[in-house]
Structure 1
Amino acid sequence: MRTVPAVTAVEAAELIPDGAVVSVSSSSALGCPDAVLAGIGEHFAQTGKPCGLTTVHPIAAGDMYGVPGIDHLAQPGLLSRIVAGSYPSGPSSAEPPRIWKMIEADEVEAYNLPSGALFQMHRAGAARQPGILSEVGLDTFVDPRHQGGRMNSATTEDLVTLESREGQEWLFYPAVRPDVAIVRATTADECGNLTFEDEGSTLGALDQAYAAHNNGGIVIAQVKRVAAAGTLDPRQVRVPGILVDALVVHEEQWQTTQTVYDPAISGQIRRPLEVVEPAPWGLEKVIARRAAQELCKDDTVNLGFGISALIPRVLVEEGHADAVTWVIEQGAVGGVPLTGFAFGCALNPQALMPSIDQFTLLQGGGFQCAMLSFLEIDQFGDVNVHHLPGRRHVTAGVGGFADITSAAPNIIFSGNFTAGRRDIAIEEGRLIIRQDGAVPKLVERVSAVTFSGRRALAQGRRVRYVTERCVLELREQGLTVIEIAPGADLQRDVLDKAAFPPAVADDLREMDARLFRPEPVGLALDTPHHTKAGMR
């Protein structure tokens, strides 16, 4: 029986050749093999090896709050190219991660490509296919007619190309064939079989391991413990030992950043919903409540980060915790998606799917609604969610956003109407704007297109934008104000604060006054607010 050696993180680094393509399984701090990445960085600092690496990250490795992740590798000479669905992000006041400094200084070639496409590029590489054809990213910054996902002037090669088949446009994403895959699990047995019992998701570990193994590469697995051969339940093995070449044991492995192990995240128990704290009262809760009014009972709903991440907490508070089934790109189906350091996980999930299979659902439009956030909106309904000039480290990148919006039949974007220093209050059920933000978020043209409003409109999809002072809808005549908050003035607070003139609906109505009071709204989800076909 084949056994797999347990090595130190530095010894694992010695297995990586110069110039290798290294695929890393992670989602911020969820599933991040941080000890192995630290060993690679340490070995390079001591020996100059391995050098010239290309790393591939379907979702970010590390964060700004305690897991350096990719920053262990962000050393000139060690890293030559990075291809990632997302990057570590955090507040604008924080010191930018080293990887962002390298990108902005043109010290490394860098790409930002959709997470779902990146997972599928690994599966294509594992199956010896040339790549994938996809609609994901068309007419956005990923499209080679725009930026091609390139992040700086040091990055010149087009990885993504445009193709036409039978009169239809597609983006071609080339297969990923790693020399090394680095994954993380909870337990390995002596044969290298991996189980993920304490993890919030398996992410893309299996396909990344397949892609490396099938192309003659090696697989390094970071685990919390090693069990005797033959003692693991084969039904729980998610990566078979035939794919694994080395184990790195890290007993202090956390479930996610700064979160104590919670078996309700990994699906081993169910916790009472009383542990879910209500969202704090304020403008963001008003926005989340209004967005929640777009949901229907029994919907399957995708959830993004930002203000939209508060919506599940609103449903719990309103007594509708199980009214919809949430699906998040990291793999959780059902339960209550979490915020903060545990974002990407769910409390009491019904199922934990591999990320690539979750993206099959999302890219195929097999759900009713996507609840997402925005940084900027322009007159065409285009949305920027990934690019802040001069403060790019505040954003994570495209992640699964482009995959999700490529086929979602109903999309609800949530965000504040303006940015900057503001003094906006809620008094006696009315919005009081004493001082507005100086930075408009409704702009003539977004600084980068993450979502194409024109493409969505042409495909007949329903798109709304929810803010604290109004609700807008994407219509043929353009972005249209359909609701206004009690206390807000249409001309002064909405039309004059947009960099373009939005249309105003003939049947403009006032937002539900109950949204602007701290007590529960009495949310009802039985009325169908949208078409529930779930398919194009």
Structure 2
Amino acid sequence: MAFHLADFDEAEAIFDSILEIDPYRIDSLDIFANILYVQQSRAKLSDLAQRFIRTDKDRPEVCGLIGNYYSLRCEHEKAVKYFRRAIQLDPTHLAAWTLMGHEYIEMKNPHAAIEAYRRAIDVNRKDYRAWYGLGKTYELLDMTQYALHYYQRAAALRWNEAIDCMKRAQLCADSTETAHFLFLAALYEKIGDIATAAMYHRQLFGLLRSDITGLTAASNNAGLGEKGLGEQVVLRGPGVPLTKVLLGKLIHTGQLSKVVCSYIGTNKYFESQYLNGKVSIELCPQGTLAERVRAAGAGIPAFFTPTGYGTAVESGELPVKYKEDGSGAVEVHAKRKEVREFNGRNYIMEEALHGDFAIIRVWKADEYGNCIFSVAKEACRYTQHNFSGAMARSARVTIVEADEIVPAGSLDPQHVHLPGIYVDRVIKSTAPKEIEFRITSPAPSATSGEPKEVQKDEDALRRERIAKRAAKELKDGFYVNLGIGMPMLAPSFVPKGVKVHLQSENGILGFGPYPIEPMVDPSVSLQLPSSDESQDLRYTLISDIINAGKETVTLLPGASVFDSIESFGMIRQCHSVPMSLGWGGHIDVAMLGAFQVSQAGDLANFMIPRKMVKGMGGAMDLVSNPDGTKVIVLMEHVAKGGKHKILKSCNLPLTGVRCVSQIITDLCVFDIDRHSGTMTLTELAPGVTEEEVRSKTGADYTVSPHLKVMDS
């Protein structure tokens, strides 16, 4: 006990008393040798070595004693010889493995030292000296991040000594390295020195103002302006800041060198930085991104997915970085993906996505780091699940920003979404939750319950006609996913008595209409007036209930919320069922917009190289299962200037191959036979002739013998 408390004088006196009673006692002799080594008692160590080598030279404790003697004489090769002899006699001799590691450090053989320390840890994972030794070895190799990691492991075993380790690591680290500030702050908090902990936190905050560059960020989207890439992000790179950061600011300051994301969306500044070669972007389908992060957290190095097969994601033709000379030439392309066939279907291989740091936001966290994103019937963050849990599990260090921090034991264990084992730091949120797109419905009349009339221009009326026709494809009980834009209008025109369940990629099943403005409130549940008693208009609105387009929506009775992993699992999954019973997938219909569609059903809707990049978002996942999910494209028939959008073959990067089954435009309806690669004109809009359609269509098609007027 005195030895472990570092009271070496007392420990030496106790061992002297024991040997006086039993001069030939060998048990625990290696501990006594360590004490004499620390006390620099060379003469006493020499006497013990000579006495016990005559007593029993084949005991590992005696070999350890002799090894300590030679180590104190700085004869390190001889010391290693005896420590190795001790291990041969007893492979589980912990002290011999650790001390041999120390000798290899003195001999400038760090790789052998690492092996010795690792073997010691195999014997006892709670051996402080082995973790400390690994930290020191990697520090000598100038591998500071590894050193910090092993010093942190040592810190969990001996707080006071670990502080000294971390301070030394701080001295040898790059001035922009930040991990040691976090760890030192945590260590001082643990021993109750709050003032010193606060000092390290202040230094940490100050680094946000320094020139930290070369960061790689992984986030689902790029957000909006300087508020982008907000609360779910994995960071990799030197000197990663550990505080709550908005990566939109890092984009504007040029501190990000690369971003892995699925959607750029309306962030024009970020898009221009990419097109001008100032930042690299690895575009990744949203469901694939979610699964890559999940795989990293589950210890899975790679997996196969149907998403992206036959597209530039598979071929590696997506530009990661353009040249900065303004030529529009590509400097770096994405990597080509391995293709494998399983059960007659092609899949591509995707690798797990690890992070050094993850920054997420939660509703509640306790002092152990257990986190809750949402709980029914309480003010909470419904769609905050999305990537948050997976991000937290995939990073080496996870920082949680919590709206509320509660004492341990306050959370119901069965409501915990993220166990504290994955969380390293919890900080109190001080910024209010912001809504990027506050989309509302007209307030209903207090008497009739019908929405108030709103004046609409011709473009809006044309889009409504397309959406109204698309709504006729939605049958009672269908599960439907709607893309951003025009598809979101379709549910407004579903016939009475027909109930469809709307799914959003960010983790909602059963969302309802846009809220009315007074309902955009932290937590409101209302019963709206209705002239139709059979129409249940009760729904819940919370400021954090948003769809995949970040628009405020509502939850209908029977709705559920979940994370993005669950969401894309139900999107990709396909069951073999008779067509008369449905399409066979969990999602019956997906409605999307498009830049181009081919006569064979190829879809392009996420980028125009060198000109415009929106990102594929979840579209590639939605079209990856065309035999299970009917894909319907809603779009205006021609682009600006009358340019064809329906072509024999697409000339833009594809979102999916032979995936579209129907096209609904302002002029007509086409049905596509994906297997034969043919297209049939089935309906014409009122006042539109077949000649007009043919002149505005750049693809071959046949006319149905049952051609009819589009009912919109």
Task: Give the TM-score, by structure 1 length.
Answer: 0.72
> Which of residues 591, 612, 615 in structure 2 aligns to 1:392?
612
> Which of residues 354, 359, 372 in structure 2 aligns to 1:182?
359
Change (3 A) 1:15 1:289: farther
1:471 aligns with 2:471: no
Q: Which moved more, 1:71-80 or 1:355-364?
A: 71-80
Offset, 1:15: 4.2
Distance 1:236 1:403 in 2: 29
Q: Tell me the equivalent position of 1:268.
A: none
Distance 2:203 2:373 in 1: 24
DSSP 3-state at the match of 1:123:
helix
Native 8 Å contact 2:603 2:657 kept in 1? yes
Change (3 A) 1:487 1:226: same
> Which of residues 391, 405, 429 in structure 1 aligns to 2:623?
405
Q: Tell me the equivalent position of 1:126.
A: 297
Change (3 A) 1:244 1:442: same
Q: Tell me the equivalent position of 1:452.
A: 656
Distance 1:219 1:291 in 2: 44
Which deviations, in whole Å up to 9, do the C-alpha atoms of 1:369-420 show, x marking residues without a partner? Answer: 1122212223332111101345425x3x111111111114311111111232
Structure-to-structure mapping, 1:145-184, within 5 angstroms: 147-148=317-318, 150=320, 152=322, 153-158=330-335, 160-164=337-341, 169-184=346-361
Native 8 Å contact 2:319 2:333 kept in 1? no
Q: Which moved more, 1:72-81 or 1:496-505?
A: 72-81
- Which entry has the higher C-alpha Rg, 1 or 2? 2
Change (3 A) 1:161 1:388: same
Distance 2:691 2:206 in 1: 61
> Which of residues 352, 355, 364 in structure 1 aligns to 2:564?
355
- The residue identity in structure 1 corresponding to 2:707 is L
1:482 aligns with 2:682: yes
Which deviations, in whole Å up to 9, do the C-alpha atoms of 1:206-252 show, x marking residues without a partner? Answer: 1221111xxxx100122223223322333332212221112343333
Distance 2:684 2:203 in 1: 54
1:46 aligns with 2:209: yes
Native 8 Å contact 2:401 2:428 kept in 1? yes
Change (3 A) 1:405 1:177: same
> Which of residues 397, 406, 410 in structure 2 aligns to 1:231?
410
Change (3 A) 1:165 1:295: closer
DSSP 3-state at the match of 1:402:
helix
Native 8 Å contact 2:297 2:394 kept in 1? yes
Distance 1:83 1:383 in 2: 23
- The residue identity in structure 1 corresponding to 2:616 is V
Identity fraction in percent: 24
1:55 aligns with 2:217: yes
- The residue identity in structure 1 corresponding to 2:394 is A
1:305 aligns with 2:484: yes
Q: Which moved more, 1:482-491 or 1:162-171?
A: 162-171
1:440 aligns with 2:644: yes
Structure-to-structure mapping, 1:88-103, within 5 angstroms: 88-89=265-266, 96-97=268-269, 99-103=270-274
Change (3 A) 1:451 1:401: same
Q: Which moved more, 1:293-302 or 1:77-86?
A: 77-86
Change (3 A) 1:385 1:151: farther
Q: Tell me the equivalent position of 2:390.
A: 207
Task: Give the TM-score, by structure 2 length.
Answer: 0.55
Change (3 A) 1:497 1:147: same
1:333 aligns with 2:509: yes
Distance 2:474 2:499 in 1: 9
Offset, 1:357: 0.7
Higher strand share: 1
Name the Cα RMSD after superposition: 3.4
Distance 2:510 2:661 in 1: 24
* Structure having greater relative contact order (Cα 8 Å, sep ≥ 6): 1
Native 8 Å contact 1:41 1:73 kept in 2? no
Distance 1:45 1:206 in 2: 25
Native 8 Å contact 1:185 1:221 kept in 2? yes
- The residue identity in structure 2 corresponding to 1:47 is S
- The residue identity in structure 1 corresponding to 2:412 is D
Offset, 1:256: 2.6
Stretches of structure 1 that go unaligned for 5 or more consecutive residues are 3-12, 18-38, 91-95, 262-272, 421-436, 457-461, 516-536
Structure-to-structure mapping, 1:206-355, within 5 angstroms: 206-212=389-395, 217-254=396-433, 256-257=435-436, 259=438, 282-315=461-494, 318-320=495-497, 323-336=499-512, 338=514, 342-344=546-548, 346-349=553-556, 350-355=559-564
Q: Tell me the equivalent position of 2:594.
A: 374
Native 8 Å contact 2:321 2:333 kept in 1? no
Offset, 1:482: 1.2
Distance 1:453 1:107 in 2: 31
DSSP 3-state at the match of 1:334:
strand
> Which of residues 246, 270, 285 in structure 2 aligns to 1:114?
285
> Which of residues 313, 327, 332 in structure 2 aligns to 1:142?
313
Native 8 Å contact 1:223 1:250 kept in 2? yes
Which deviations, in whole Å up to 9, do the C-alpha atoms of 1:41-64 show, x marking residues without a partner? Answer: 996663112x3222112x214125
Distance 1:130 1:296 in 2: 41
Distance 1:140 1:353 in 2: 29
